């Protein structure tokens, strides 16, 4: 199989890029195995690759082998397609979105740079958990969806549905899908963004067999469901694909229904950008003004073996050129752009400039990470970043990685660092004392993929430990106030702790309440949305966004307190990294400082005094506030047949799972429930054997839940033992000295 | 000039004494205040009993006063002690080991002024980072008798510190942000040998006690004096 190469002059390509009406930025979103890769492949094959024409030189090849291409697409951050619609040429950028559930952090970053999403749904399985997750994320990022119902062939060949039943199935899926839009879309777009098959906003087909069609197309050509069934039964699917190629149906849908970048930015910018939209910069962003100040949102960092780190992102305003001096807002550094590239298919080609509304690849901004905002250095003092990336998943599973040959350690760590650059939902920790290399991810599969990639790239031999689950420590009630003394006894902090309310936790998790926020603005949000007392909210000294904890100062007029504020905050951040029960991070804690005695002499109130004083009081507080462990819990959605319901529920029950909901549709039953991560490692094998393989399911991170009371001590002891901690759980007296 | 040296047995007061003698002061006596309270604001507590062995080793008379250790009353005690000593020894000034702490220095200055004595704080504002190394190079040997900070390994307690222990200590001071001369009360010392010591103090027995994770003390249980055989300093030049 080979792909057509379309040659165009660089000037022609540039002139298309300068006209937003001829540009679309989209991406494919899907539940795992619903056919994202095959869909993208068939678009590539159908639409062909754009290639710059070099005058007077014959092109080395006219076609690229699909296998070769697939290898490239695995690593590509973006694929640009050339498509002619009603005689007019378009550049359609397909931003890479990762296929697996565990990479949902990736999905969010990819969404930022696209205006439209092609949501792929398996006709048999219908709308699944991850479909819901990705649609919700798309709605949060104001990305307009269109729907592709894939694997229609399965309805015919496996389920043997009649044309009428197929039609009913499609109506049902569209209804489920629109329910999601109704649930998650911004009120202003709820009705506008629901997909309507009659308007050509839904395509049906089979990516495997490369055909696809929208209802208006079918109506125009007189194609009926019975014809499609016939094509399969009488073996003329190839002709169907000839007449109704999938890429045309989909790219038509995208050109017609995904807005051009300048139109989309008008409503997306106010939602996804944190700055003032009435400022000159705000206006340039709203208009996608190619002459405005340069602003780029980075969606992905890749390492090119030859060139180095490549940042892929979208130019939201201005025009980026080779040699431009740019400022990285999150990394707080100034860099020079060494080269600007345009994606042509999965390849990058050097191009002198890339105007607003397009996807660009940049060389020279090594310090950027996915989620970075890059701006022209001339506006570094006035530019606000794009809203913080909102990660729904958290790294909760950890493995230890050890090279078989100790000499390979440095290479291994380097390979891992690269992975964490590309995927910030992975986190790497190297124990300074033991040299142990720990990699954390959102799930076991996430880590399996990461270690597989590591092996592919480094070709090193290494062992991966059994996955360990990360826990959190939390309190269930308010503590009394404790006196935390500094080691020299000259400084005393009076501190109590209590649980944060759920709404505050949510606001921090969503990035609406942040550490670097204007205190008055933060107080206002907390007062209005989470019912905080106004004075208390204004007293917030620190918000720990990583583990979700807050430090509040409720003192007044304490001498020298201002001088030690930073040390107290450092002590707070240090304390919540490892709680007293099992040295797991603390989550959902509100620490309140009520009073303090601070020594007048700076020599007696350094960080080595104040940090332990803070920690002592916080630890005592936690221990006195009914502490517990929180474990990560997954939500599971399993589809099975009527007769296997009992077996599935049985497996869940054996693993402390619980069933939340059961929905019957046709012959299938969907069981929705929850199961703790720690119980999920053998789930695949058990579910398959219990149902003789007649079940498919998906898992994703749901929430942190307290471990059952009767297992608490046992679990704490297991973690302490694993970490080599003393058997005795610390007591309040260990932190509040008796003098 | 005839002076009295405030003496706690730690490195700073011993060093100040050393300075005073080298400058030609006539050190008439050592004044040691012994607080009843543990968390004294100003004066060293652990092992204060054993300073009399150091005084012996130095061959300088020692006067010990008990103070109640309460912040302001403590100064009152100091004042009374100074009045007595001034009368008994006919001194004109006092020498203190206060290093950086403005608080210590100011408080002593205020009290001394009230009883009309001059104050010499030779160590004040000295280079803090090299201080412990300088001490070592000048022949001072000391053990760590308490820790009240994050970042000092409790295994150092009770040990006569080597130059490598001292370097480790300075590195962790820079890392954890405490004073590299231990002037913020991060650790207390007990001097076992110094150029002016005619005999060496030997700690025969002691016990490490944990107060909490970052607070430890070393309680000295028995001490003896040993003749010094190779003393590169002779004490001929010292006037008494």
pLDDT above 70 covers a percentage of chain A that reads 91
Q: Which of A595-599, B114-118, B180-184 has the lowest mean pLDDT?
A: B180-184
C-alpha to C-alpha distance for A5 and A411, rounded to whole angstroms? 39
C-alpha A199 chain-centroid distance: 31
CB contacts < 8 Å between A and B, how many? 77
From A600's Cα to the closest Cα of chain B, the distance in A is 7
Residue A362 three-state SS: strand
Answer yes or no: do A612 and B214 touch at CB < 8 A: yes
Q: What is the pLDDT of residue A52?
A: 60
Cα–Cα distance for residue pair A399/B176, rounded to 1 Å: 30
**Predicted local confidence at residue A189, as pLDDT:** 92
The answer to whether A587 and A437 are in contact (CB under 8 A) is no
> B212 — contact with chain A (CB < 8 Å)?
yes
Phi and psi at residue A150, to the nearest 5°: -95, 170
Quote the CA–CA distance of A536 and A498 in Å, as a whole number: 14
B100: nearest CA partner in chain A: A603
Q: What is the pLDDT of residue A68?
A: 52
Confidence of residue B44 (pLDDT cuts 50, 70, 90): very low
Structure tokens of B236?
A: 């001929």
Interface confidence: ipTM more than 0.95: no
The residues, any chain, with a CB within 8 Å of residue A164's CB and separated by 6 or more, are A225
Task: Print burial letters for A661-670: b (CB count within 10 Å at least 16), e (below 16).
Answer: eeeeeeeebb
DSSP A36: H
In this predicted structure, what is the pLDDT of residue A72? 46
Chain A residues close to B186, C-beta within 8 Å: 487-488, 608-609
What gap in Å lies between CA A537 and CA A539, rounded to an integer? 5
Q: Does B104 touch chain A (CB under 8 A)?
A: yes
Determine the pLDDT at residue A203. 96
CA separation, residue A495 to residues A592, A597, B214 (Å):
6, 12, 19
Complete domains list, chain B, with CATH: 2-120 (3.40.50.620), 128-227 (3.90.1490.10)
Closest by CA position to A422, among listed A398, A396, A386, A446: A446
pLDDT score of A393: 57
Give the list of residues 6+ apart from residue A242 with CB closer than 8 angstroms, or none. none
Does B179 reach chain A within 8 Å, measured CB to CB? yes
In chain A, which stretches have pLDDT less than 70? 1-4, 32, 49-77, 98-107, 345-346, 387-394, 432-433, 665-667, 737-739
Q: Is A611 on the interface with B (CB under 8 A)?
A: yes
Is A600 within 8 Å of chain B by CB?
yes
**Cβ contact B150–A487 (<8 Å):** yes
Structure tokens at A327: 């400022």
Q: Please give, rounded to a whole number of angstroms, the shortest distance from the CA of A177 to a CA of chain B.
A: 56
Q: Per-residue DSSP letters for chain B?
A: -EEEEE--SSHHHHHHHHHHHHTT-EEEEEEEEEESSSS-SSS--TTGGGHHHHHHHHT--EEEEEE---HHHHHHHHHHHHHHHHHHH--SEEE----S-HHHHHHHHHHHHHTT-EEE-TTTT--TTTHHHHHHHTT-EEEEEEEESTT--GGGBTSBPPHHHHHHHHHHHHHHT--TT-TTTTEEEEEEE-TT-SEEEEEEEEEEEEEETTEEEEEEEEEEEEE-S--SS-STT---
């Amino acid at each position: 199989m080979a792909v057509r190469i379309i040659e165009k002059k660089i000037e022609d390509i540039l002139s298309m890029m300068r006209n937003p009406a001829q540009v679309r930025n989209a991406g494919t979103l899907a539940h795992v195995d619903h056919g994202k890769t095959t869909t993208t492949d068939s678009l590539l094959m159908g639409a062909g690759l754009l290639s710059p024409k070099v005058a007077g030189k014959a092109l080395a090849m006219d076609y690229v082998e699909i296998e070769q291409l697939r290898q490239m697409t695995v690593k590509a951050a973006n694929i640009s397609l050339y498509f002619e619609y009603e005689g007019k040429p378009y550049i359609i950028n397909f931003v890479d979105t990762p296929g697996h559930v565990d990479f949902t952090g990736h999905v969010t970053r990819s969404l930022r740079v696209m205006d439209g999403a092609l949501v792929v749904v398996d006709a048999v399985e219908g709308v699944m958990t991850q479909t819901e997750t990705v649609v919700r994320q798309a709605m949060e990022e104001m990305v307009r969806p269109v729907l592709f119902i894939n694997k229609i062939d399965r309805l015919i060949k496996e389920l043997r549905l009649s044309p009428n039943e197929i039609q009913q199935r499609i109506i049902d899926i569209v209804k489920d899908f629109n329910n999601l839009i109704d649930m998650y879309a911004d009120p202003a777009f709820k009705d506008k963004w629901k997909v309507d098959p009659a308007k050509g906003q839904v395509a049906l087909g089979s990516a495997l067999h490369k055909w696809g069609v929208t209802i208006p197309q079918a109506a125009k050509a007189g194609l009926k469901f019975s014809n499609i069934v016939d094509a399969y039964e009488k073996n003329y699917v190839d002709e169907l694909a000839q007449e109704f190629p999938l890429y045309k149906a989909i790219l038509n849908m995208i050109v017609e229904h995904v807005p051009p970048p300048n139109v989309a930015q008008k409503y997306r910018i106010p939602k996804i950008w944190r700055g003032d939209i009435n400022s000159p910069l705000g206006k340039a962003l709203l208009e996608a003004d190619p002459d405005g100040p340069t602003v780029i949102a980075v969606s992905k960092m890749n390492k090119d073996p030859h060139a180095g780190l490549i940042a892929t992102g979208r130019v939201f305003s201005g025009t980026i050129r080779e040699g431009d001096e740019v400022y990285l807002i999150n990394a707080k550094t100034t860099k020079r752009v060494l080269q600007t590239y345009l994606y042509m298919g999965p390849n990058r080609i050097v191009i002198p400039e890339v105007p607003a509304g397009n996807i660009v690849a940049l060389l020279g901004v090594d310090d950027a990470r996915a989620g970075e905002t890059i701006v022209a250095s001339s506006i570094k003092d006035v530019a606000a970043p794009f809203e913080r990336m909102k990660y729904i998943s958290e790294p909760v599973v950890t493995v230890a990685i050890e090279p078989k040959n100790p000499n390979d350690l440095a290479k291994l760590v380097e390979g891992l660092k690269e992975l964490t650059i590309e995927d910030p939902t992975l986190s790497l920790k190297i124990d300074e004392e033991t040299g142990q290399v720990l990699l954390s991810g959102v799930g076991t599969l996430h880590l399996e993929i990461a270690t597989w990639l590591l092996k592919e790239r480094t070709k090193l031999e290494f062992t991966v430990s059994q996955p360990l689950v990360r826990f959190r420590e939390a309190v269930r009630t308010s503590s009394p106030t404790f006196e935390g003394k500094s080691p020299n006894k000259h400084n005393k902090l009076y501190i109590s702790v209590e649980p944060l309310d759920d709404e505050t936790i949510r606001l921090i998790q969503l990035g609406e309440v942040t550490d670097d926020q204007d205190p008055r603005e933060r107080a206002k949000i907390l007062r209005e949305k989470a019912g905080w007392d106004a004075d208390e909210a204004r007293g917030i000294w620190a918000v720990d966004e990583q583990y979700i904890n807050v430090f509040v100062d409720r003192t007044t007029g304490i001498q020298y307190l201002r001088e030690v504020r930073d040390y107290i905050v450092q002590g707070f951040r240090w304390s919540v990294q490892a709680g007293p029960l099992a040295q797991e991070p603390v989550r959902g804690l509100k620490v309140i400082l009520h009073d303090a005695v601070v020594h007048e002499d700076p020599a007696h109130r350094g960080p080595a005094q104040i940090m332990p004083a803070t920690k002592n009081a916080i630890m005592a507080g936690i221990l006195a506030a009914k502490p517990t462990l929180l474990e990560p819990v997954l939500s599971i959605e399993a589809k099975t047949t009527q007769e296997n319901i009992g077996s599935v529920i049985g497996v869940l029950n054996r693993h402390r799972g619980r069933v939340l909901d059961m929905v019957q549709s046709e012959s299938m039953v969907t069981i929705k429930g929850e199961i703790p991560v720690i119980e999920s490692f053998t789930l695949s094998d058990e579910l398959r054997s219990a149902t003789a393989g007649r079940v498919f399911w998906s898992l994703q991170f749901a929430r942190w839940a307290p471990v059952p009371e009767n297992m608490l001590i046992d679990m704490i002891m297991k973690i302490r033992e694993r970490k080599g901690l003393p058997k005795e759980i610390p007591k309040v007296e260990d932190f509040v000295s008796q003098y | 000039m005839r002076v009295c040296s405030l003496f706690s047995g730690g490195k700073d007061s011993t060093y100040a004494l050393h300075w005073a003698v080298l400058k030609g002061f006539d050190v008439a006596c050592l004044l040691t205040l012994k607080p009843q309270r543990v968390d004294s604001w100003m004066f060293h507590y652990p092992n204060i009993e054993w300073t009399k062995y150091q005084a012996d080793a130095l061959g300088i008379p020692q006067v010990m006063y008990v103070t109640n250790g309460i912040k302001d009353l403590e100064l009152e005690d100091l004042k009374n002690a100074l009045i007595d000593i001034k009368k008994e020894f006919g001194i004109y000034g006092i020498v203190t080991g206060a290093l950086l702490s403005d608080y210590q220095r100011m408080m002593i200055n205020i009290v001394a002024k009230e009883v009309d004595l001059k104050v010499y704080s030779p160590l004040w504002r000295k280079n803090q980072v090299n201080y412990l190394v300088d001490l070592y190079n000048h022949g001072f040997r000391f053990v760590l008798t308490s820790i009240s900070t994050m970042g000092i390994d409790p295994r150092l307690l009770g040990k006569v510190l080597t130059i490598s222990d001292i370097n480790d200590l300075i590195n962790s001071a820079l890392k954890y942000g405490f004073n590299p001369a231990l002037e913020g009360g991060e650790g207390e010392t007990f001097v076992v040998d110094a150029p002016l010591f005619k005999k060496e103090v030997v700690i025969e027995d002691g016990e490490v006690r944990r107060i909490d994770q970052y607070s430890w003390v070393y309680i000295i249980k028995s001490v003896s004096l040993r003749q010094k055989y190779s003393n590169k300093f002779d004490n001929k030049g010292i006037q008494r």
